Chains A and B, each alone.
Chain A
Amino acid sequence: MEKLKIGIFELTGCAGCALLILDCESQLVDIFSAADIEAFLMAKSDNSDGPVDIALIEGTVTTEEEKEELLAIRRRAGLVIAIGNCACEGGIQAALTASGNWSKEFRQVYKDLKPTNVRPIPSQPIDTFIKVDYYLPGCPIGQEQFLTTFTRLLAGHPPELYRFPVCMECKWRENECLLNKNIACLGPLTKAGCGAVCPSHNLPCVGCWGPAEEANRSAEFKLLLEKGFDPESLQRKMAIYSGTTIVDFFNSLKKERR
């Protein structure tokens, strides 16, 4: 059987997801022998721009140039997998950019400086511009989840990722619920898959796996307000890893206040 051609691509982000793949040290030989890694800038210098069966894409689209690069990858790829919070949701750099204040914020940071070799645009998750087949969440992605997804894809199966929130894995580890201890934990709003690492060390979930499918933001928000947390800091906390998805919720809060 011919090996599948794989490309691992990085847009704007910390490169942590690509690094995590490279960090699967004991499995690297197996990964590179199971598939032809056609492009992986962090790992090798002879990168092809030919067709790939599976493209794993990390990072957000933050410039016009990246948008073009992304469209080109889509054209030559069979499956496209968004890897990491940036590619899936927009990441930290997209938090609240959909609010419409991007130009103002841009000027706040860069004043009158004019970028010379790129044309910046508001950071967006990759599915703003292209069709994404599967999403592998996390900031960065988890090693175990990456490997099980990768091997399923190589065998021609869709990934089997958890669709429930962190709380399930947290209970499997027999942790007391931090919300019940009056700690602002975002576990119920966040996709599982991390193994509930933070709550297992008595630290509240910050949401780095991105919003869970059925995240009940308004209920958790009101619950935390009742517990005495202030709305501004809660909103900031909820926005960090929610990318562009949180704007609708904030707008609904504004509407309620009126």
Chain B
Amino acid sequence: MRILKLKKLNLFSFLQSLSNGIELWAPVKKDSQTVFQFILPEEINKINLNFTRTLLPPKKLFIPPSFNMFQVTAKGYKEDYSWIKDRILFGLHPCDIHGLLTLDRIFTQNFPDSYYVQARQKTLILGLSCWPDEYCLCQSTHTDIIEEGFDLFFSELGDDYLVWIGSSRGDDLIRIKPEFFEESLGTKDIEKYIEWREKRAQAFKTKINFVFMPDLMELKYNDSVWERAGTACLACGSCSMVCPTCNCYNVRDEILLGDKPGRRVREWDSCTLLEYSLVAGGENFRSKKSSRLKLWYTHKLQAFGSKYGKPSCVGCGRCLVTCPVGINVKSISDSLEGKKVDAFWARFSIEVKP
């Protein structure tokens, strides 16, 4: 892999030069949060480089929360790929790239999802280094470093970026503005980078016992933690919406009036919702919130591994900052380990005995 050097002050000009004829998506501020958004070349200064995690993960660009799959008339149906554009997605942190690699395993292998596959093929991934806050768990989930899954990756180092070229398409991007990039790194740069890596590794304050979780989930399958968390769960689905590896969806058919064609709408769904496990005849396999939470955490911390090599949690910390009642990967795994947990659900379940 080739590594180049780019002056920090040239980053925006470089990104601007790429966005000619191709949509640039990058992190921008929305109130106190940061979100990935489409950026016009003249708005390049809106890009926010100083963020830890976006509210929604980048999955929203590959499987939008709600989109039309096809138009249908009496004559047949026509798939709608109109929302899939050539795009450059800048600003992905390692956890989010790992998240996309996890989605790849689901949507491109045994049963390729044509919408996802096309959107993935048409999007270039430009990664960006980051610094952990108190919610980042990616060191525990071994997703704090990324070695694949990007076209370019920008590591911030003082006044420069070290730029990893991860693909030939990434290399093509460099060739649009070769004058911005220095070919050879000095010994000082390398030393500085090693030092940065070590410091960053020390900066992780929050940890979970991720390696132990598959076993522990099995051993504590009937633990009271599930009932206790289930009693406080609002069943709002937010954990799934913000999770970079949650990918379930539902479809709805819309019939339109007059001669207009009908549509099939595909929308994000969550296994934590009541309707998810409802089948014909009114039977519901998981009518209790506790059993739905258990299923969710099985995917994040255990069973996904037997099918795809590892559990699907990438440690981004979004469930930690999102769940209003504090049910998240950290509080659940700590609780499974027998640690005392300071979360609303734990306090609530003491008050309300199921």
Q: Which residues of A contact B (CB under 8 A)?
A: 27, 30-31, 33-34, 147-148, 150-152, 154-155, 157, 160, 163-165, 167-168, 171-172, 174-177, 179-180, 187-188, 202, 213-214, 216, 218-220, 222-223, 226
What are 7 A-B contacts with C-beta separation under 8 Å? A27-B257, A151-B257, A172-B241, A174-B33, A188-B235, A188-B236, A223-B344
B280 in contact (CB, < 8 A)? no
Residues A148 and B255 in contact, CB atoms below 8 Å apart:
yes
Residue-wise interface mask of B (305-318) relative to A, using a CB-CB cutoff of 8 A (1 in contact, 0 not): 00000000000000
Closest to B233 in A: A216
- Smallest CB-CB separation from B56: which chain A residue? A174
Give the residues in chain B near A148, CB-CB below 8 Å.
Answer: 254-255
Contacts of B324 in A (CB 8 A): 177, 179-180, 188, 223
Closest to B232 in A: A219
Does more than half of chain A's interface fall in helix, strand or loop, or is it mixed? helix
Q: Are B55 and A220 in contact (CB under 8 A)?
A: no
Nearest B residue to A185 via CB reads B324
- Residues of chain A with a CB closer than 8 A to B274's CB: 163-164, 213-214
With a cutoff of 8 Å between Cβ atoms, the chain B residues found around residue A218 in the complex are: 352
Cβ of B60: which chain A residues have Cβ within 8 Å of it?
A: 174
Q: Which residue on B lies nearest to A165, using beta carbons?
A: B236
Q: Within the complex, what minimum Cβ distance (angstroms) separates B21 from chain A? A: 27
B322 near A147: Cβ-Cβ < 8 Å: no
A147 touches B257 (CB 8 A): yes
Chain B residues with a Cβ under 8 A of chain A: 30-33, 35, 55-56, 60, 65-66, 231-238, 241-242, 252-258, 267-268, 270, 273-275, 289, 321-322, 324-325, 344, 347-348, 351-352
Q: Which residue of A lies closest to B275 (CB)?
A: A163
Contacts of A179 in B (CB 8 A): 324
Task: Give min CB distance, A209 to chain B, whole Å.
Answer: 14
Q: Across the interface, do B235 and A152 meet the contact criterion of CB distance under 8 Å?
A: no
Q: Are B237 and A167 in contact (CB under 8 A)?
A: yes
Instruction: Kindly provide the distance from the CB of A18 to the nearest chain B CB, expressed in whole angstroms.
Output: 18
Shortest Cβ distance from A178 into B: residue? B324
- Indicate whether A222 sits within 8 Å of B55 (C-beta atoms), given known contacts A152-B255, A167-B236, A216-B233: no
Contacts of B31 in A (CB 8 A): 176, 202
CA of A149 to CA of B289, assembled, Å = 29
- Residues on the A chain within 8 Å of B258, using CB: 30, 33-34
Inter-chain CA distance A134–B335, complex, in Å, is 42
**Which chain A residues lie closer than 8 Å to B233 at the CB level?**
216, 219
Additional pairs, 19, CB under 8 Å, beyond known A160-B253, A168-B270, A174-B35: A30-B257, A31-B257, A150-B257, A151-B254, A164-B236, A165-B235, A165-B236, A167-B234, A167-B236, A177-B322, A179-B324, A180-B322, A188-B234, A188-B235, A188-B236, A213-B274, A216-B234, A219-B348, A222-B352
The distance from the CB of B278 to the nearest CB of chain A, in whole angstroms, is 9
Chain B proximity of A7: nearest CB distance (Å): 18
Q: Are A226 and B344 in contact (CB under 8 A)?
A: yes
> Contact: A222 with B348, CB < 8 Å?
yes
Assess the A220–B255 pair: CB atoms within 8 A.
Answer: no
Instruction: State A174–B56 Cα separation when bound (angstroms).
Output: 6
Q: Which residue of A lies closest to B230 (CB)?
A: A216
- Residues from chain A with a CB closer than 8 A to the CB of B235 are 164-165, 188, 214, 216
Select A219's contact among B231, B255, B267, B322, beta carbons within 8 Å. Answer: B231
CA–CA, A22 and B274, complex, Å: 34
Question: Roughly how many angstroms separate A163 CA and B351 CA in the complex, as a whole number?
Answer: 28
Complex: chain B residue closest to A35, CB-CB: B257
A167 to chain B, nearest CB (A): 4
Specify which chain B residues have a CB less than 8 angstroms from the CB of A172 in the assembled complex. Answer: 65-66, 241, 267-268
CB distance from B307 to the nearest CB of A (A): 26
